[in-house]
Amino acid sequence: ILAQVQLTRGNLSRALKHQERALFLNPNDDRSVCSMGEILAFCGRHEEAERWVRKSMTLNPYHPQRYWTHLARPLLHLGRYSEALAVLERIGRPRRDDLA
C-alpha cells in the first residue's frame, strides 16, 4: 500500500523502495509482483516491467484482468504494438472479482 501511495504522489524512488520491501517479505505474492512491474513501467524500465508482470501472471494463472493492462503498457513503450494489441484484446467484460 505504501508503494501505491508513493506512486500516486509521483515519488517513484520511494514507491520502488517500498515495493522492494514488500517483495522481500512475500516474493510470491502475485499482486506485489505485478505492482513491481507497474512501478517499473512508470520509471521507464519497460523491459523489466514486462518481466515482472509476466511473472505475476505465472504465479496466479487466474489473475485479475487488470494485469493485462499492466502488461500492455510496457509493450507499447517498447514499440511492440501488435503484441500490446493482442494483450488488450484478451480483456473481456469486467468480472465481478475485478472491481477492486
pLDDT for 5-48, tens place per residue?
Answer: 999 999 999 999 999 999 999 999 999 999 999 999 999 999 99
Count of Cβ atoms closer than 10 Å to residue 37 Cβ? 27
Q: Cβ contacts of residue 69 below 8 Å, gap of 6+?
A: 88, 91
| Residue 52 near residue 37 (C-beta atoms within 8 A) | yes
pLDDT higher than threshold 70 for residue 98: no
H-state helical runs in the chain: 2-8, 12-25, 30-42, 46-59, 66-77, 81-89
What does the CA dihedral 74, 54, 63, 81 come to, rounded to 10 degrees? 40
46-74 residue pLDDT tens: 999 999 999 999 999 999 999 999 999 99
| pLDDT, position 93 | 63
Domains and CATH numbers, the chain: 2-92 (1.25.40.10)
| pLDDT, position 92 | 74
What average pLDDT does the segment 79-90 reach?
Answer: 96
